[in-house]
Homo-oligomer: A and B are copies of this chain.
């Protein structure tokens, strides 16, 4: 894999760039840096220090430097990073230099919101097609796009060079939709349905599950509540269960 290929410029059409294979944690943070960088650029900054960028992105500055070091050295000691250059570099690494075409399947409640969201366009993506299985929705126009029947997926996928599929159907339909997407060559899927998708190797799936996020928050709420309500065993109506709550050593903030 690591071909020790010539480490030179990724740019300049012709040479296929040897992409450094970044730690997954780093990849997950790059978009955050990118957003912060765009804000800085809009605000007129030409350079930014690791400290400054880290602050804007909400991370530790050492972590940021290490992350950026993985894409090569683009900072100047004593000065910082060139904002515009870093934007280009990160966008290249993330594969955003082309405007990726996204297909959205399931134009219901959530799908409508997604289809109407302009945060896609401004961050490197283009919603290329909307699909639904419900005949009564087919033909509807949303944000300049017409809703097509899912059966048209193969044809449209070929036309539009779909790069990423977004699933916003009910959970029971998600697996079938995923298979349809994979069948037309989609190898990246963002899944909003609360279910596990099984896909062939080589296909990436990321999921967004709102309820999971809330439940994680709920856990921390529960824990915070049980810490403060500790002395009076289950006094308030907050915690349903009493419980021999032997709190271990935590240093979590108990502010306010």
Contact = CB atoms under 8 A, between A and B. Distances in A.
B16 A243 contact: yes
A45 interface: no
B73 A18 contact: no
A240 B97 CA distance: 7
Interface extent on A, as a size class? Answer: 35 or more
B219 A253 contact: no
A209 to B, nearest CB: 8
Contacts of A235: 13-14
Question: Taking the full assembly, how many copies of this chain does it contain?
Answer: 2
Contacts of A4: 255
Contacts of A117: 109-110, 210
Interface in A181-227: 187-190, 194-196, 198, 200-204, 206, 208-226
A144 interface: no
7 contacts: A9-B241, A9-B248, A18-B226, A35-B211, A94-B215, A100-B214, A124-B215
